Structures are given as structure tokens and as C-alpha cells.
Amino acid sequence: MGDPAGIGGEVILKSLTHICKKSIPVLIGDISIINHLTKSLFGDKKFDFKGFKEGNTGGVEFIDLGLLNTIRFGTSDSRYGEASYKYIIEALKLVCSGEVSAIVTCPINKKSIHLAGIQFIGHTELLAYYSGVTDYVMMMANRSMRVSLVTIHIPLKNVESLLSIERIFKCISITDNSLKTYFGIKEPYIKVCGLNPHAGEQGLIGNEETIIKEAIDLARSLNMHAEGPFPADTLFHKVDCDAYIAMYHDQGLIPVKTVDFRKTVNITLGLPFIRTSPGHGTGFDIAGKGVADPSGLIEAYRVAESMV
């Protein structure tokens, strides 16, 4: 359910008739919040989740952790951070025991997580830690393009110091392997961004492109079809590859979200299980108002099903 004070519960309820087609959703959260939202969204209608039959699967299951009785939508709170953390831990138990096939997460609030004393920046880092994984990649994808990120949630001033041949190569390699494993692409074609304007213009505007090129050359020596580094300001205007590699968060997320914000999905590559999420945040400004768009969650669920 993600952060209970966000739009997670609402988009789940609005998605039910769309996602109960090929698989059985197992919802994790607080039923008190869902009941409150159900009443505000649908009046007197109530969902009997185990008997919910809008598709061909025979129902929806709900795991109620019973952590909250009341909610103040659109606010950061340590209780909400702790609740969203416990929801994801429950999901991890289920996926690691083989009881579910994938995890689809609604957005969490970083401030609430911090207030709860939980030392993770976001879902991606938390899932990687508890999976024992150190090499993982955040991919943002929609039906037009896929973009993997070498660095994720760090200040822009720190990007240069964190770039290395090894780190860039791992991003290319994990992306290449995941495209083959989960997307059925036999010979993925990957384009890699430079870091500086004009991809450094042969060392005239920075030298970081040298290590980017060495990482690409290493990938090519292992029969990966990767090319670059290309200037990022012109690379995305024509989608002619299976995935792009961006050096930092906004370099990759601006084009993919501009192309199709509503259906952009966050996919964590490199984990021992499938994890997707809508590309948007908690929507605190509209939480509890009944106006949240469920398109992102519906698409995240569809992508997870497809990858399974």
C-alpha cells in the first residue's frame, strides 16, 4: 500500500477491476484505511476481498497488518513511515518464500521513513539490502522507452565522484541481462549517455566520458551491443534502441516521464525477484481527495505480470 497517508490506497481501489485478469493480487496494508477510502470513494459499497471477482482469477486477498486506525492524508508522520516499512517487509517474506511471484509497491514518503528512524532512502535500497544484493539498477520504463540509471538518489554535485568504469559497466551488464531474461530480447541494443554537455566534446568539456567509453568497450568485449557515450540532449528524441543508460537521476527521468508520465514504471533490476512501482510519488497534495489517477499502478502491475 505504500505510505498510508498518500494515494496508494486510493489507486489500489481504483485499479482492482483492471488488475484482476490474469493473476491474483495480494494486497498488504491496513484495512481500516482501505475501508475509509472505500466509503469516501464508493459510498456504502464494501469489498469482500477474498470474494472479489471482476476477472477470471477468483478473487483478491488482503493482508491486514492492523497498524493504524486513523489517518491524516497528506502528512508526514513516523507512524506512517513505520507502517510503510512493515508493509514492504511483509511483501518480502511472501516473495522470498515463493508465496507470491512479484512485488508491486505503491510510493513511500522519504521524510516519514526518516522520522521512523529507518535508514533507507527508498524502496530500492531497502529491497536490495534485505535481498543481500549490492549490484542493482533502477530502470524507468514505459511503452516507448526504457532508461537505466548509473546513480540514483544522490546530490548532483556527487555524481562525478561516484562514476567509475566498474559502476557504469555493471549498469550496462545488469540491464543487458534483464532485457534478455524478463523482456525476451535476444540481442539487446543499449545506448549510453555522456555526463557532460556534448558528451565532453573530446575532452574539451570534461574528461568523464573517457571512463564511460572504457566501460562501454568492456561491455562490447563481452558481446554486449552497447554504444556511446552520446550527448544526452539529443539522444532521446528518437527511440531506436532497447534501453538507454543515464549517468544520473534527472538525466534519465526527464525524458522518460515527459514521453508518458502516467504510464511510466519503476523497475528494480538485479534483485532475486521482480519488483515494479508506479513512476510517481505519494501525491500528498491530492491524497484522500478521490482524484488520484490509477494508471501508473495499473501499468506497474501489468509490467510485473509480463515479466513473470
Q: How many CA atoms lie within 13 A of 54 on its CB side?
A: 15
Same domain flag for 94 and 3: yes
d(CA 16, CA 162): 41
Predicted confidence band of residue 49 (pLDDT cuts 50, 70, 90): low
d(CA 24, CA 248): 36
Is residue 54 pLDDT above 50, yes or no? no
Same domain flag for 236 and 199: yes
Set of cell numbers at residue 294: 490509477
Predicted confidence band of residue 203 (pLDDT cuts 50, 70, 90): low
- Strand, helix or coil for residue 218: helix
d(CA 188, CA 236): 17
In angstroms, the Cα distances linking 127 to 6, 231, 268, 286 are 20, 32, 9, 27
Same domain flag for 172 and 148: yes
Predicted confidence band of residue 122 (pLDDT cuts 50, 70, 90): confident
Is residue 51 pLDDT above 60, yes or no? no
**What confidence score (pLDDT) does residue 266 get?**
95
- Least confident window among 9-23, 127-141, 210-224, 271-285: 9-23
**What confidence score (pLDDT) does residue 43 get?**
75
Same domain flag for 127 and 1: yes
Predicted confidence band of residue 75 (pLDDT cuts 50, 70, 90): very high
CATH number where 14 lies: 3.40.718.10
Predicted confidence band of residue 57 (pLDDT cuts 50, 70, 90): very low
Same domain flag for 146 and 240: yes
Same domain flag for 22 and 70: yes
d(CA 153, CA 122): 9
**What percent of the chain has pLDDT above 70?**
94
Q: How many CA atoms lie within 13 A of 144 on its CB side?
A: 14
Query: Do residues 30 and 135 touch, judged by C-beta distance below 8 A?
Result: no
Is residue 16 pLDDT above 60, yes or no? yes
d(CA 266, CA 139): 6
- Best-predicted range by mean pLDDT (18-32, 33-47, 73-87): 73-87
Same domain flag for 124 and 140: no
Same domain flag for 154 and 189: yes
Same domain flag for 140 and 257: yes
**What percent of the chain has pLDDT above 90?**
80
Is residue 120 pLDDT above 70, yes or no? yes
**What confidence score (pLDDT) does residue 47 get?**
62
Set of cell numbers at residue 304: 510485473
The rounded mean pLDDT for the chain is 91
d(CA 135, CA 124): 11
Is residue 78 pLDDT above 60, yes or no? yes
**What confidence score (pLDDT) does residue 150 get?**
97
Same domain flag for 31 and 101: yes
Query: Do residues 297 and 157 touch, judged by C-beta distance below 8 A?
Result: no
**Mean of pLDDT values over 194-201:** 83
- 51 by Cβ neighbours in 10 Å (0-12 / 13-18 / 19+) ranks as exposed
Considering its fold, how many domains does the chain have in total? 2
Q: Which of 244, 262, 280 is the last residue of a domain?
A: 262
More confident residue, 119 or 91: 91
Helix residue ranges, H only, the chain: 8-19, 31-42, 78-96, 110-115, 123-131, 159-162, 165-183, 208-221, 232-235, 249-259, 295-307
Peptide bond into 197 cis (omega under 30): no
Same domain flag for 97 and 177: no
Full domain range(s) for residue 36: 1-133+271-308
Set of cell numbers at residue 151: 546513480
Same domain flag for 96 and 35: yes
